[in-house]
Amino acid sequence: MATCRYCKESVHDEAVRCKHCGSEIGVSTPSSSSNKVTYVFDEGLIKFGKFAISLIIIFCIIGVSFYGIDFEHAADEIRNSLKETQKDRFDIMTLVNSLDGVRKEVLDQKKETSNLLEQMRVLASEAEEKVGFVEQEAEHFAQLKDDVSNQAEIAKENVEKGQEILSSAQRKMEEIKNQANSMEGMERKAKQSIAEIERNVEFMRGQVSTVEKIVATLAKRSQLSAQETESLSERVLTEFFSSYRDAVVTVKPLARVWGSGVLVSPNGHIITTDYFIPGGKSQTKVILYDGTVVRPEDILPDFALGLVVIKIKVNKPTNFLPLSKETPSEGTNVVAIGVDRNRSLASLEGQVIKASNETLEVKFPEIYEGFSGAPILNSQGQVLGIIYKEGLESGIQICIPSNKIETFLKEKGLKSLISFRGESTHKVLAAFSDPPRH
């Protein structure tokens, strides 16, 4: 393959003309000894050049023919431009003269500035002298400041010592005051304790009298058979009923339905079963032991558990029976107080045959329909459970135990009632300003 010497592209060795630029490859190269330079032009390029030159000449002739009539107008515009240029030249000369005047003013201001600078140098020299004097005064003032600081430190130390002495005196006064308040508080507590002791003594006297009666009765009964000693005597049961009956109420939700309930707080909270809810607040009546009939202020049921809290309005703290903290054991003798066939309160003695945290079963020799919702009491008058329904066997009553009642009260937001659990009724009522009398 050969290389075209004009376009440097590859061509065949036997080619006469380059297929890329159209140059003749067979033309001999001028001798290197000759000083002349030979230019080779493409034939097509020469033809195109001739055509282009002809076309430009034609356009020029046409342009002169069409636009030649505007040459005179253009000449007028050129003359006007010359006139404006001469006018601008005159304005420029005037401006140059004005600039000369400004230059003179600037030179004058420069001289004035030089004078001002000289005056400022003089003032600066005087200021340096004054600065030196001020520095001397500042040193003297610093010395005075150090002296004052030392005196202030001494005064501060004296003040701190005085504050310490004052604080010590205040602490001693506070201690004396606290001791005085403590003495007053101890005196008040002593008075309250004495009053409470007196109330407890009075209560204990009554309890001792009751216990003496019970002991005497039991002593008389000790000679009886073992079967008879398993139950309380009629006299003891009567005295037990007299002590706690005023905390049991009659609940009457409908015309022909009667049931029982028990006050579990001195503020009028009654626990019973949900059997008595159909009538609602508007049809439900609560009959207290003294015969007073009141309407419920609120009723809070739990149908899954089978319990109801009825809130009644009381003018003063009422007698109540607190919940028991303990689960009774099997064989424990208990007492239920509720509504009998004559729609009056009565007591029944029973015995626990099954006891757990989930259920409490008590067997009675007989039972009344109005005892639904009646409390099951231990020997301290504490509520072990609430009678809910009759069991499979005759005389066995299924009761809701006290621990489930406690859970129910927590869910209803009545935790304050749980605080009375396991407490003595008389002790709780003694904390109120006007406790009821037995």
Strand partners, 310: 270, 299
Q: pLDDT, tens digit, for every residue of 136-186?
A: 888 888 888 888 888 888 888 888 888 888 888 888 888 888 888 878 878
State the average pLDDT for the chain: 78
How many of the other CB atoms lie within 10 Å of CB of 313? 10
The mean pLDDT of 380-406, rounded to a whole number, is: 85
pLDDT at 400: 92
Q: pLDDT, tens digit, for every residue of 293-310?
A: 998 888 888 888 888 899
pLDDT at 256: 64
Q: Compare 253 and 371 and report the one with higher pLDDT.
A: 371
pLDDT at 361: 92
The mean pLDDT of 220-238, rounded to a whole number, is: 54
- Checking if the pLDDT of 120 tops 80, the result is yes
Coil, strand, or helix at residue 263?
Answer: strand
- Checking if the pLDDT of 370 tops 70, the result is yes
- Checking if the pLDDT of 434 tops 50, the result is no
pLDDT at 438: 38
- Checking if the pLDDT of 219 tops 60, the result is no
User: Measured between alpha carbons, how far is 262 from 242 in angstroms, rounded to an integer?
Assistant: 15
- Percent of the chain whose predicted confidence (pLDDT) is above 70: 77
Per DSSP, the residues of 379-435 read TTS-EEEEEEEE-SSTTEEEEEEHHHHHHHHHHTT-HHHHTTTT--HHHHHHTSSSP
Q: Angle CA(289)–CA(295)–CA(297) in degrees, nearest 5?
A: 115
Phi-psi region of 267 (alpha: psi -120 to 50; beta: other; left: phi over 0): alpha
Q: Are 333 and 232 in contact (CB under 8 A)?
A: yes
Claim: this prediction has a pTM higher than 0.85: no
User: Measured between alpha carbons, how far is 422 from 403 in angstroms, rounded to an integer?
Assistant: 12
User: Measured between alpha carbons, how far is 274 from 371 in angstroms, rounded to an integer?
Assistant: 13
Q: Are 270 and 263 in contact (CB under 8 A)?
A: yes
Q: Are 27 and 40 in contact (CB under 8 A)?
A: yes
- Checking if the pLDDT of 432 tops 60, the result is no
pLDDT at 229: 43
Domain coordinates in residue numbering, the chain: 149-229, 234-430
pLDDT at 385: 93
Of 12-16, 69-73, 270-274, give the lowest mean pLDDT range: 69-73
User: Measured between alpha carbons, how far is 18 from 16 in angstroms, rounded to an integer?
Assistant: 7
Architecture, CATH, for domain 234-430: Beta Barrel (2.40)
Of 24-28, 119-123, 371-375, 376-380, give the lowest mean pLDDT range: 24-28
Query: 81 burial class (0-12, 13-18, 19+ CB within 10 angstroms)?
Result: exposed
- Checking if the pLDDT of 101 tops 60, the result is yes
Element containing residue 370 per DSSP (H, E): none
Phi-psi region of 68 (alpha: psi -120 to 50; beta: other; left: phi over 0): alpha
Of 147-151, 429-433, 434-438, give the lowest mean pLDDT range: 434-438
User: Measured between alpha carbons, how far is 236 from 210 in angstroms, rounded to an integer?
Assistant: 9
